[in-house]
A and B are shown apart, each in its own frame.
Chain A
Amino acid sequence: MPNIPLRDILIIARQESVQMRHHYIGVEHLFLALLQIQGGLLSLILEKNGLSAEYVADTLRRKMERGSSQRLWVGIPYTPRAEVVLDIANDVMLDNGNDEVTERDLLHAIFIEHDSLPIRVFQSMKANLVALKEAVLTLTPSNEAILSSTAITFGEAFDRNANIPREHLFVLRKMFASHASIRIERNLTGFRREALIVVVTPIQADNREDAPVVAKIDQKDSILDEVQRYETYVRSILPLQTARLEENPTVPDASELAGVKYSLVANVGDIPQDLRQRTRTHGTTGLGRLLQHELYEQFRKTWWQQKRAYRFQVWKEYDWLLPPILTLDYVPDREPPPNAHHIKIPFNRPKLKSRLKDEIQFGDIVVLENFTVQKVDRQQDLLKLGIGYGSEADKRAYRMDVRGVHLARSSFYRGEVIERIIGRVMRTRNDVLLQAVRDLQPPFDPRTRWVTLGEHRLPNPLLAYEDLLDRHLNGSMSRIHGDLHLGNILIGPNNRIWLIDFGNTRDGHTLFDWANLEISLLGDALMPSLGDEWKTVEEVLDSLIWLNSDLPMPSMNDEVFTAIASITAVREVVHECLTTKDNWYEYFVALTLCALRAVTWDSMSLGGRRLMFMVAGLALLELNRKYLNTPSHTPPIDEGELTDHLPTPVSGDGSRLTSSGSGTGSRAALPATAPLNPEPQETPERALGEDEKLLLLQAIEPAPPESTELSKPVDPDEPPPTPKEPIP
């Protein structure tokens, strides 16, 4: 009994449509899809009536003119007639007491409707339509009908709740077209986008199983970008036994998606899992040893131990992590009003920074010039722009998101430089971050200089990140993975470690990977098992403070203890990778910004995000502690200067930010915001007076004077550059 469900037929129909540049699904596309089912009902019916499927398909295609390259509508809609046919098919299905439309129901519906192009083609062939319709109801193909040559089954470890979208299945079948079937063993959790990553066992026609591979399916340009990065940065330097990207990605014409395979050099039956999955059964036990002795040892020579001297301004490596600087609503191309703000690349960073802070407000018109397309997100209708194109982190800095461009109708591509695009300011980076922190329902006011959790008083990262981005670091550059978290590290039998997902691999700040890994250990592995309570966050914070100090060890439960042990292992790796021996400054800068980024992640648990915010604060505290430990004097804190750095919400999406306000007089004219008390709500200096450790909190460092690339940066915290390093 043939039973090809409608959803599989629709995939083929959509393909047909896109290949002919029609971009709509009509009855003719559905019919062509039915013709492609090998051994299916339609082929059989035609055969019994002296027609071949190829002949009918060919005649039909000639009647369907190829569409033009212009698309005048959004998406791939059904024609009114296709909708009628699908409605009839649904009725037929219900009449037959079934719960899924099959090829027979659909074919029956096409004959009932009787007015579509395929029917007209039959008429022009003088085919006997009565006999054909009769055959739809009576004939049954003897063999199993096959839509695709590759069958898909699922292994035991596959999470049945994970629904793989059919378009992903379509690409997956294409990827394994030369195999009789595949078994999807496991879905990996290591993705934060729409990507699908699964472990697949390919099975030959004679039922022989091949070694498992990892298949990744994602947006086309993401896959192609990853392949390119792999070629540039990874292929030549991988340790012998690790995941390798197979040479050619699968890029089907008719899909927005593409797929790549990572071969693992594994034995048949060795099904790897990612480390995040492992923590669900094993907790963080043994994780530190794995990271330090398997992962680091395997890769350090070609990756993190390259350590070329690299002095950089923090934003170049870390700005791209944070939310877009502006989120704009697209304004269709017209002459911008005279009071529009122009942001043109190249720009002067200090000037732009002060304009962003003081001039550009919610609702203003902004003209972006010479920005580069980073990503075209058709699903969310979001155009993501940055300052350049390339794998280096600074090319992705200064992200600007433009919404509502009707991307389905426009032809932007990744890497394209857009001469001019106009939009209305809906949100700033500060808005996004502040809202993310509000969503955590913090027991403190996220707009004050200090945040208090239990006994901990930490500097507020929301007020400090801007200055952090301006600082200069004496760091080092190595080849880095770029997105190292527990989900991207696979483990097989005998603790063999593989890395996957090279979509961000590049030459960059050496410590970035390890700061990310610490974030992942805390946020992905530890917090989900502990829960979301602030009280829990506080306890974990106790342990982390201990990690950074010489204080006696606080009491902690086993779970926290093993997690801290694995972080200790990460810190040992970091210690080896530090540019200047025992100077942790660069690490805590990285950790602050990585943690702050994670606060905005929907995919992280509430408890995880809560901890992330506090970790960012704690890392800031550490920074300042280092600062105080240098022999130089403690600069007094200028109240005014600090309040200047208050995130200034511009009342983005309607009213949810209306309770917030501006800390600077220059924005007094801001609409719909209540004035904010410019005084900090606490006087932490006094409260902390007796506690030596908390005294350190005062040292929120004012930003160093803006310096151009040519002048020697002024950063009292930084040790002078080593003589070997050229001063630019």
Chain B
Amino acid sequence: MKGTLEVMIMSGVEDGLPLNYSIENGDGELTHEGQRWVIRIGRREDSDVCLRNDTFVSRVHAYIIWERERWWLEDNNSTNGTYVANGDLDARVQGTIPINPGDLFRIGHTWMRIQPVTE
């Protein structure tokens, strides 16, 4: 399986920061015999997406998952929740939901999105 992912931070002190991940470089974790690629988001230093400047982020807060040919967002029972933009109100993510490149979601206080890898 060959995969790449770009996460763009969309608010806070790191607003505008692009983060790149690829299976080839050993980023994230491959499970289910290589059929599932998991990127961890959290405040812990060894998170793939490490949000050390946001105190509302849990240590292991959420996952971005590539499985069955699409992207999924999964909340890891985080204290302050994972949200997706939904008009003026933000909707809290329960369990795992599908997401598309360009969709904004919020981890703690930090907005971000996944997007096609810029060359």
Contacts and interface: CB of A to CB of B under 8 A. Distances in A.
Contact of B13 (A65, A73, A84, A115): A73
A72 B52 contact: yes
Contacts of B109: 65
Contact of B15 (A23, A26, A68): A26
Interface in B19-77: 52-53, 55-56
A80 B53 contact: no
B55 A68 contact: yes
B53 A79 contact: no
B15 A27 contact: yes
A117 interface: yes
Contact of B53 (A27, A72, A124): A72
23 contacts: A22-B13, A24-B12, A26-B11, A26-B12, A27-B15, A64-B11, A65-B109, A70-B55, A73-B53, A77-B13, A79-B12, A79-B14, A79-B17, A80-B9, A80-B15, A81-B15, A82-B16, A83-B16, A84-B16, A116-B15, A117-B10, A117-B11, A117-B15
A392 B14 CA distance: 47
Contacts of B15: 26-27, 79-82, 116-117
B70 to A, nearest CB: 24
Interface residues of B, number: 15
A84 B118 CA distance: 16
Contact of A80 (B16, B55, B88): B16
Contacts of B17: 79-80
Given A65-B109, A80-B17, A81-B15, 5 more contacts: A22-B13, A24-B13, A72-B53, A79-B16, A80-B14
A24 to B, nearest CB: 4
A82 B9 CA distance: 13
Tell which of B16, B53, B88 has the most Cβ of chain A within 10 Å: B16
A80 B56 CA distance: 21
A637 to B, nearest CB: 63
Interface in A142-161: none
Nearest to B16: A81
Nearest to B106: A65
Nearest to B9: A80
Interface in A343-365: none
Given A65-B109, A117-B11, A72 B16 contact: no
Contacts of B9: 80
Contacts of A72: 52-53, 55
Nearest to A76: B13
Mostly, the B contact residues are: loop
Interface of A: 22-24, 26-27, 64-65, 68, 70, 72-73, 77, 79-84, 115-117, 124
A65 B55 CA distance: 13
Nearest to B53: A72
Mostly, the A contact residues are: loop
Interface in B79-105: 88
Contacts of A77: 13
Contacts of B52: 72
A119 to B, nearest CB: 11
A348 B52 CA distance: 46
Contacts of B11: 26, 64, 117
B83 to A, nearest CB: 12
Contacts of B53: 72-73
Nearest to A117: B11
A27 B12 CA distance: 10
A68 B12 CA distance: 12
A355 to B, nearest CB: 42
Contacts of A117: 10-11, 15
A115 B15 CA distance: 10
A83 B15 CA distance: 10
B42 to A, nearest CB: 15
A70 B56 CA distance: 11
Tell which of B9, B13, B56 has the most Cβ of chain A within 10 Å: B13
Tell which of B15, B53, B88, B109 has the most Cβ of chain A within 10 Å: B15
A98 B105 CA distance: 40
A84 B109 CA distance: 22
Contacts of A24: 12-13
Contacts of B16: 27, 79-84, 115-116
A79 B55 CA distance: 18
A296 B109 CA distance: 63
Contacts of A22: 13
Nearest to A81: B16
A65 B10 CA distance: 13
Contacts of B14: 79-80
A116 B11 CA distance: 9
A81 B55 CA distance: 21
Contacts of B13: 22-24, 26, 73, 77, 79
Nearest to A66: B109
Closest 6 CB pairs of A and B: A81-B16, A80-B16, A79-B15, A24-B13, A80-B17, A81-B15
Nearest to B87: A124
